[in-house]
Structure formats: structure tokens, C-alpha cells
Amino acid sequence: MGSVELILLAVGLSMDAFAVSICKGLAMKKADGRSMAICGAWFGGFQALMPLIGYFLGNLFANGIKAFDHWVAFGLLTFIGINMLKEAWSKEEACDLNSNNDLSVKNMFVMSVATSIDALAVGISLAMAGNVNIITAVFLIGIITFSFSAAGVKIGNIFGCKFEKKAQLAGGCILIFLGTKILLEHLGYLT
């Protein structure tokens, strides 16, 4: 997987955290650098950690499923992408203001885990894809998610929830695209 695909993957994964950060910013009276950094660090850190864990888990059983690993990667990425699309389309009320201005360790931990579970599955997919530098992938995912999350707090504070749905739609489409690309490459349709 090349640099462009890794960046697209990182952007796709960061969209859930971006959407939550927008809601956090909306609930704040003033989005300062501290609150932006807190959200960025929590979400970026977990989005980087989870694919690393998934990658190592995927490598544990990669040899046993080598014949159909590309189908596993395709299935996981497509499933996550479709879930993101469903979630974006089913949202009636964009943000829950009552719970989103809390930056406590407990709240941020729960939200960081919740928004990064899909990154664990992506890490397994990266192990199945084979040709991935996991350190580069984890670094890009962490930095891009940090940046999007910090920006999301400010955007939410200024513009409200206008971009939350669009971010999730874009993220879902990107993950489906990458899953399809991995499958087509392994089947020999793309080189």
C-alpha cells in the first residue's frame, strides 16, 4: 500500500473522531488551544494505537488464511465503510450537546475507544494486505486524526454540526474504496 492509499486510509479513519470533535466544539463556549489539543491527542493516540494492535493480531493468524486474506481485508473495510454510511444517513439530530463538552479522562477514554474500534479491524486488514509499513501507517493515522480532531473542535465551535454528516459519508466511501482496491489488486485486476 502506497503513501496516497495510507493517507486516504488515515483520512477515512479520522472521520468518526472528526465528527465527535465537531460536536465537542459545538458544546463549548470557546474552543481554545488546550481543548483542541486534548481532543486531538486522545483521538489521534487511540486511532494510532488500535491499528497497531490489529496489525499484530492479524499477523498471528495471517499464515492460516493467506489464500483468502484479501477477501478478509475487503470485507472488514467494506463493512466499516457501510456502517459509517448508514450511521451518517440515519442521523436525525446531529449532536448531543449535553454530553459533548466533557473533556474528563473517563469521557475522553470512552469516546476514543468508541471511535477507534474500526481502526482495530483496519489494522487486521493491513496485516492481510501484506505490503504495508505499519510504522508509517500508524504515524499517518495518528497525525491526521490529531489534526482533524483538533480542527473539528474549532469548526464545531464556529459552524456547528454542519460538517458531521458529510465527514462520515466521506470516511465511509474512502474505506469502501480502499477495501475494493485491495481485493482487485489481489485478484489481478489492478497492478
pLDDT (tens, 9 = 90+) of the chain, 191 residues, equals 788 989 999 999 898 899 889 888 887 878 899 999 999 999 999 999 999 999 999 888 766 766 777 787 788 888 888 887 887 788 655 555 555 567 889 889 988 988 888 888 889 888 887 788 999 999 999 999 999 999 999 998 887 666 777 877 887 888 888 888 878 888 888 76
CA distance 32 to 21: 13
Using only the alpha carbons of the chain, give its radius of gyration. Answer: 17
- SS3 at position 100: coil
Longest CA span, the chain = 54
For residue 191, the model assigns a pLDDT of 67
* 83-121 per-residue burial string, b: 16 or more CB within 10 A, e: under 16: ebbebbeeeeebbeeeebeebeeeebeebbeebbebbbb
Instruction: Check residue 39 and give its pLDDT.
Output: 96
Residue type, 150: A
- The predicted pLDDT at position 160 comes to 64
